[in-house]
């Protein structure tokens, strides 16, 4: 019974994150390789419920967002 409850909760949370209700906007610090790896991990694992709002970096802006839009 407990297993069914946890499984139901997991799928309900996954459904809410897919339609955008459960998602939290986050900023990733750094737009280099480490920032891309973090973004890829968050994009691949939708059950975390995070939506990438952008990147904060002291270097050239826009590279990672172009990379995300092109690859995902």
What is the percent of the chain with per-residue pLDDT over 70, rounded to a whole number? 82
Average pLDDT, whole number, for the chain? Answer: 79
Structural domain boundaries in the chain:
2-71
Is residue 25 helix, strand or coil? Answer: strand
Residue 70 has pLDDT above 70, yes or no: no
pLDDT score, position 64: 65
CA distance linking residue 50 with residue 65, whole number of Å: 15
Closest alpha carbon to 51 in 43, 61, 62: 43
Asked whether the predicted pLDDT for residue 17 surpasses 80, the reply is no
Q: What is the mean pLDDT of residues 31-47?
A: 84
Position 61 confidence tier, pLDDT thresholds 50, 70, 90? low
């Amino acid at each position: 019974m407990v297993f069914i409850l946890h499984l139901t909760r997991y799928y309900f949370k996954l459904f809410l994150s897919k339609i955008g209700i459960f998602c939290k906007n986050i900023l990733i610090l750094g737009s280099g390789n480490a920032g891309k790896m973090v973004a890829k991990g968050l994009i691949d694992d939708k059950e975390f419920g995070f939506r990438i709002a952008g990147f904060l970096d002291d270097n050239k802006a826009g590279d990672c967002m172009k990379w995300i839009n092109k690859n995902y």
